[in-house]
């Protein structure tokens, strides 16, 4: 290196991700079709070309299910899209779903080396592209290990359960999934709206698992119809995985929560997504949405509920969140989409009472303004009410999207299963095993409400844990 | 798919179906309920178990045709299938020997009251039953109830059978006469349960009611069935469906039960139009 002063080389301006085509906001607020339309072949290749193919890539360390990101992007560059899809499926059985709902900006894309100076490589969009490409052309099944004669029961068919089932089936296990609802998919079918994750895609991914040999039994509420102990002792399962999720909605401790037009986001979204209330009266399940809707919360579920309300014909929809935009837990893309669609954000605002008339109908919501104080244990700045700042939001429907607690049905019917004071199940982080031998757990039932991908990561670790446990047990015999 | 092995028309609006569901029949208890979805476009709705036969592997449901979904269910016949039949959900009725138990059934609720009354009888209680309906044609389980009761009363709003009046007319009389009643169990329309609870409240007789809230999943997931009991929020599906009647906020319950009245009307009218307006 010489010390001689050279004129600074002109650096190229930072690049942005190749944009993904989307439905126009003014059009999409009147339908339930998917908002993001996905890359074309040309767009995908153009985006993939930018990848540095780093010798020591960091992106994969940001992925809870260890997708070989560099390798699948290399295959896209070569035009081998089917190969790219197969490469992802080596570690991720649900790529079409992850490509749509993962918070890539805090995971793989946050670690992307190209992203230090530029917008990172659009890994999520590329994953979605190859998964859709392969699905539309019909995928071949991967190699499946010969049947090993061992049986595993999976409780819950959400992202944790589906992932665990897929991994175990490939290893040669006989896998049965028990689902409480009439349709498999868990939060992927009841929670996430059609316009963000078409249900046909979930059905196809479930279908893929069935082709791998996984049996799915719907209408089975484990803890009621059979207990975990019966599955192990009477029904000859060698291990059980509990992936029952955080399906118990939280409400605020304020007056008016039981008024007629107050919904949990779970109820509102289940009516619309799983039960197809947006097609009422073709489908029998109704949903009520008024003219002015207030959604309480700042996560993905709040965005989903708000955007759903808009599509059902609400004139004005508010997100009411007690912190500021920066602290919102929702994915950036969801917040942007919501804003584009005309959702109004009432930030630093906390409800203190939902107001009702004599028939129990909502006629407004009293709120108080907040300011941010010192960071709390979550690292986010604590919201503090500003005295005498009460005001009323004029609304006729309230949707509460402030999170979910673990569903207690399985823990309360399984003696010896250790839980925390929040009702989550305690596991060995490494293996996923609970305090009960042969009983594993993962996903929201362990962590409390989190993301699809973290549940999938947990399902994957548990599959590994179950495989090790049963292999060891068999070798001892 | 769950096969209907027996169907019986109990009165012009109430039907009984015995459904093959061996895994459910194997474990269900009086007081628990089933979530039903009749067909692919159908809604999920709860029906309390009216009876079960562990050996035959069947569960009996009894329902009144009030809206589209129950009408649709009513069109199915023996040999037909119900698409989804999920259960048993909720907590079973707590049965023990209290002494004298008064079981009150209103309308279609009598079908649910029956196995409960029978279980109380089998547990050694002196069982008084009060079976009420609007008119004689709508009284169900008359013989069955009578057979398992130590004392049996019937009431009709129009006086066409039994005592002219409401179930609370008889219940109030019994209490006023100083009959020692240790427990009242009531199941029927919300308004009836509200007044049963009001009738027993002054004398402090423990009163259990079985709520018929609107539900979507029935497993604690949606909160549609939430109800205030003793000032606290409870979910009828997992904390109930049975609660202390003196603690239940019935006005709130009735408001929430009416939430979809307009939509229910739309669905029903459309269905009647498509089915030639026939019942």
- For residues B70 and A7, the model is more confident at B70
As a whole number, mean pLDDT of residues A395-416 equals: 94
pLDDT of residue B279: 45
Helices first, then strands: H and E counts in chain B: 9, 17
DSSP string across B68-110: HHHHHHHH--TT-EESEEEEEESPPP-----SEEEEEEEGGGH
- With an 8 Å Cβ cutoff, are A284 and B43 in contact? yes
pLDDT grade for A5, boundaries at 50, 70 and 90: low
Nearest to B260 among A218, A219, A288 (CB): A288
pLDDT of residue B271: 87
Q: Which residue has the tokens 């307006």?
A: B277
* Coil, strand or helix at B238: helix
The token pair at A347 is 């930030």
Distance CA A33, CA A198 (A): 8
Half-sphere exposure of B192 (CA within 13 A, CB side): 32
pLDDT grade for B202, boundaries at 50, 70 and 90: very high
Task: Lay out the sheet containing B14-20: strands in order across.
Answer: B51-53, B58-64, B14-20, B2-11, B81-82
As a whole number, mean pLDDT of residues B106-116 equals: 93
DSSP string across A240-291: EEE-----EE---SSTTTTSTTEEEHHHHHHHHTTS-GGGTTTSS------S
Interchain CB contacts (distance < 8 Å): A and B: 115
pLDDT at A382 > cutoff 60: yes
pLDDT at A2 > cutoff 60: no
Distance CA B32, CA B210 (A): 10
Give CATH 2.40.30.10 domain extents, chain B. 2-89
pLDDT of residue A3: 55
- With an 8 Å Cβ cutoff, are A264 and B238 in contact? no
pLDDT at B276 > cutoff 70: no
pLDDT grade for A113, boundaries at 50, 70 and 90: very high
Distance CA B26, CA A276 (A): 32
Residue to substitute from B28, B49, B84, B223, interface A, most A β-carbons within 10 A = B223
Q: Nearest residue on chain B to A180, judged by CA atoms?
A: B86
Among the listed residues A350, A356, A357, the one whose alpha carbon sits nearest the alpha carbon of residue A391: A350
pLDDT at B44 > cutoff 60: yes
As a whole number, mean pLDDT of residues A112-124 equals: 95
Which residues of A fall within a CB distance of 8 Å from B252?
A: 258, 360
pLDDT at A447 > cutoff 80: yes
pLDDT at A6 > cutoff 80: no
Secondary structure element (H or E) that encloses residue A423, with its range: none
pLDDT grade for A466, boundaries at 50, 70 and 90: very high
pLDDT of residue A8: 67
A388 Cα to chain B: minimum distance (Å): 28
Fold (CATH) for B2-89 = Elongation Factor Tu (Ef-tu); domain 3 (2.40.30)
pLDDT at A152 > cutoff 70: yes
**pLDDT tens-digit series, residues A351-369:** 999 999 998 999 999 999 9
Distance CA A466, CA A432 (A): 8
As a whole number, mean pLDDT of residues B143-151 equals: 95
Among the listed residues B95, B142, B147, the one whose alpha carbon sits nearest the alpha carbon of residue B122: B95
pLDDT of residue B275: 81
Residue to substitute from A184, A224, A266, A296, interface B, most B β-carbons within 10 A = A224
Domain B100-257 - what CATH class?
A: alpha beta
Please indicate if any CB of chain A lies within 8 Å of the CB of B75. Answer: no
Please indicate if any CB of chain B lies within 8 Å of the CB of A408. Answer: yes
Query: Are A269 and A193 a contacting pair, CB within 8 Å?
Result: yes
As a whole number, mean pLDDT of residues A183-188 equals: 96
* Coil, strand or helix at B27: helix
Give CATH 3.40.50.80 domain extents, chain B. 100-257
Q: Nearest residue on chain A to B91, judged by CA atoms?
A: A224
A409 Cα to chain B: minimum distance (Å): 8
Please indicate if any CB of chain B lies within 8 Å of the CB of A409. Answer: yes
Q: Nearest residue on chain A to B263, judged by CA atoms?
A: A286
**pLDDT tens-digit series, residues B70-87:** 999 999 999 999 999 999
Q: Please state the ipTM of this predicted complex.
A: 0.94
Category of A113 on φ-ψ map: left (φ > 0), alpha (ψ -120 to 50) or beta: alpha
- With an 8 Å Cβ cutoff, are B44 and A275 in contact? yes
Please indicate if any CB of chain B lies within 8 Å of the CB of A412. Answer: no
The token pair at B204 is 């402090």
């Amino acid at each position: 290196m010489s010390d001689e002063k050279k004129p600074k080389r002109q650096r190229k301006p930072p690049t942005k991700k190749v944009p993904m085509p989307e439905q126009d906001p003014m059009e999409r607020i009147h339908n339930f079709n998917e908002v993001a339309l996905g890359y074309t072949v040309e767009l995908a290749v153009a985006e993939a070309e930018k990848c540095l193919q780093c010798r020591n890539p960091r992106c994969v360390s940001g992925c809870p299910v260890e997708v070989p990101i560099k390798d699948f992007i290399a295959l896209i560059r070569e035009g081998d899209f089917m190969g790219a899809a197969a490469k992802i499926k080596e570690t991720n059985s649900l790529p079409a779903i992850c490509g749509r709902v993962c918070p890539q900006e805090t995971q793989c894309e946050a670690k992307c080396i190209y992203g230090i100076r530029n917008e990172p490589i659009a890994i999520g969009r590329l994953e979605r592209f190859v998964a859709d490409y392969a699905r539309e052309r019909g995928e071949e099944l991967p190699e499946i290990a010969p049947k090993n004669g061992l049986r595993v029961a999976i409780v819950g068919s959400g992202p944790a359960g589906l992932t665990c089932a897929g991994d175990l089936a490939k290893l040669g296990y006989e896998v049965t999934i028990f689902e409480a609802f009439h349709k498999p998919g868990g939060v992927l079918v009841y929670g996430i709206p059609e316009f963000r994750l078409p249900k046909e895609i979930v059905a196809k991914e479930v279908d893929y698992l069935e082709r791998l040999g996984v049996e799915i039994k719907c209408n089975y509420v484990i803890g009621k119809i059979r207990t975990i102990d019966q599955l192990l002792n009477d029904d000859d399962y060698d291990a059980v995985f509990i992936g029952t999720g955080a399906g118990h909605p939280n409400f605020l401790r304020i007056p008016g929560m039981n008024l007629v037009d107050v919904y949990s986001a779970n109820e509102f979204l289940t009516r619309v997504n799983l039960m197809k209330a947006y097609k009422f009266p073709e489908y029998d399940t109704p949903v009520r949405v008024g003219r002015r809707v207030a959604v309480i919360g700042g996560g993905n579920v709040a965005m989903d509920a708000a955007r759903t309300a808009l599509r059902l014909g609400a004139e004005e929809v508010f997100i009411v969140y007690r912190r500021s935009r920066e602290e919102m837990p929702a994915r950036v893309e969801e917040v942007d989409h919501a804003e584009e669609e005309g959702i109004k954000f009432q930030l630093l605002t906390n409800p203190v009472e939902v107001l009702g008339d004599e028939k129990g109908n909502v006629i407004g919501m009293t709120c108080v303004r907040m300011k941010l104080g010192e960071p709390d244990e979550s690292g986010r700045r604590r919201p503090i009410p500003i005295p005498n700042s009460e005001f009323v939001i004029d609304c006729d429907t309230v949707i509460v999207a402030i999170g979910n607690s673990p569903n207690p049905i399985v823990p309360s019917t399984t003696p010896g299963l250790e839980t925390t004071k929040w009702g989550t199940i305690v596991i060995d982080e490494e293996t996923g095993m609970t305090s009960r031998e042969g009983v594993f757990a993962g996903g929201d039932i362990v962590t409390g409400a989190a993301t699809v991908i973290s549940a999938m990561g947990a399902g994957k670790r548990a599959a590994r844990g179950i495989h090790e446990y049963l292999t060891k047990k068999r070798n001892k015999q | 798919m769950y096969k209907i092995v027996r169907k019986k028309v109990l009165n012009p609006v109430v039907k009984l179906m015995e459904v093959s569901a061996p895994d459910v029949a194997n474990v269900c208890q009086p007081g628990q309920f089933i979530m039903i979805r009749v067909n692919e476009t159908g809604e999920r709705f709860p029906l309390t178990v009216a009876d079960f036969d562990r050996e035959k592997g069947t569960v009996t449901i009894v329902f009144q045709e009030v809206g589209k979904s129950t009408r649709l269910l009513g069109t199915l016949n023996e040999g037909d299938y119900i698409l989804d039949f999920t259960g048993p959900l909720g907590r079973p009725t707590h049965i023990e020997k209290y002494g004298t138990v008064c079981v009150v059934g209103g309308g279609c609720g009598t079908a649910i009251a029956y196995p409960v009354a029978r279980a109380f009888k089998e547990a050694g209680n002196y069982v008084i039953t009060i079976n009420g309906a609007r008119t004689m044609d709508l009284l169900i389980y008359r013989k069955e109830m009578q057979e398992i009761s130590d004392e049996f009363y019937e009431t009709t709003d129009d006086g066409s059978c039994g005592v002219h009046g409401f179930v609370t007319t008889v219940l109030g009389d019994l209490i006023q006469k100083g009959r020692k009643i240790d427990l009242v169990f009531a199941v029927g329309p919300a308004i009836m349960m509200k007044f049963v609870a009001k009738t027993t409240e002054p004398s402090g007789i423990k009163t259990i009611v079985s709520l018929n809230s609107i539900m979507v999943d029935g497993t604690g997931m949606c909160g549609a069935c939430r109800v205030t009991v003793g000032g606290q929020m409870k979910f009828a599906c997992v904390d109930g469906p049975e609660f202390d009647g003196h603690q239940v906020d019935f006005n709130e319950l009735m408001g929430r039960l009416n939430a979809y009245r307009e939509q229910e009307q739309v669905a029903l009218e459309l269905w009647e139009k498509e089915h030639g307006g026939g019942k």
